[in-house]
Amino acid sequence: MSKRIGILVYPRFQVLDLVATTVFELANIITGKALYQTTLLSEQGGNVISSSGVPVASEAFGQQDFDTVLVSGWMEPVRSTPGFNDFLRAASAASRRTASLCTGAFLLGQAGLLDGRRVTTHWWQARELQHAFPKARVEEDRIFIKDGKIWSSAGMTACIDLCLALVEEDHGAELSRQIARKMVVYHRRSGGQSQFSALLELEPKSDRIQQALTYAKENLRKALSVDELADAAHLSRRQFSRSFRLETGQSPARAIEVLRVEAARAMIESGNHSIDIVARESGFADPERMRRAFVRAYGQPPQAIRRAAREAAAA
Confidence at residue 66, expressed as pLDDT on a 0 to 100 scale: 95
Q: Which of 109-118, 160-169, 200-209 has the lowest mean pLDDT?
A: 200-209
pTM of the entire predicted model = 0.64
Q: How far apart are CA 2 and CA 245, in angstroms?
A: 54
Indicate the angle between helix axes 252-270 and 237-248, nearest 10 degrees.
60
> With bands split at pLDDT 50, 70 and 90, how would you rate the model's confidence at 76?
confident
Residue 305's pLDDT is what?
Answer: 83
Task: Give the residue among 285, 215, 208 at the shortest CA–CA distance from 248.
Answer: 208
Kindly state the average pLDDT of the residues 170-193: 75
Concatenating the DSSP letter of every residue in 145-210 gives: EEETTEEEE-STTHHHHHHHHHHHHHH-HHHHHHHHHHHT--S---TTS-S--HHHHH--SSHHHH
Average pLDDT of the residues in 145-152: 93
Asked if the model's pLDDT at residue 200 lies above 90, the reply is no
What's the whole-number average pLDDT of the chain? 88
The pLDDT tens digits for 241-260 are: 999 988 888 899 989 998 99
| Per-residue pLDDT at 82 exceeds 60 | yes
**Cα(260)–Cα(183) distance, rounded to whole angstroms?**
28
- Whether residue 223 has pLDDT greater than 70: yes
Residue 119, pLDDT > 90, answer: yes
Predicted confidence at residue 180, as pLDDT, reads: 87
pLDDT, tens digit, 9 for 90 and up, residues 290-304: 999 988 887 788 988
Confidence of residue 194 (pLDDT cuts 50, 70, 90): low
**220-232: average pLDDT:** 94
- Asked if residue 272 has pLDDT above 80, the reply is no
Closest alpha carbon to 256 in 193, 209, 303, 192 = 209
Q: What is the average pLDDT across 33-59?
A: 95
Grade residue 193 by pLDDT with cuts at 50, 70 and 90.
very low
Nearest one of 12, 9, 11 to 20, comparing CA atoms: 9
H/E element, 84 = helix 82-94
| Local structure of 286: helix, strand or coil | coil
> What tens digit of pLDDT does each residue of 14-43 get?
999 999 899 999 999 999 999 999 999 999
Residue 288's pLDDT is: 94
Domains along the chain? 3-183 (3.40.50.880), 198-314 (1.10.10.60)
State yes or no: pLDDT of 143 exceeds 60. Answer: yes
Would the pLDDT of 315 be above 60?
A: no
Percent of the chain past pLDDT 90, that is, above it, reads 60
Q: What is the pLDDT of residue 177?
A: 86
Residue 36 backbone dihedrals phi, psi, to 5 degrees = -135, 150
Report pLDDT for 114.
96
* Of 116, 176, 170, 122, the residue nearest 148 (C-alpha): 116
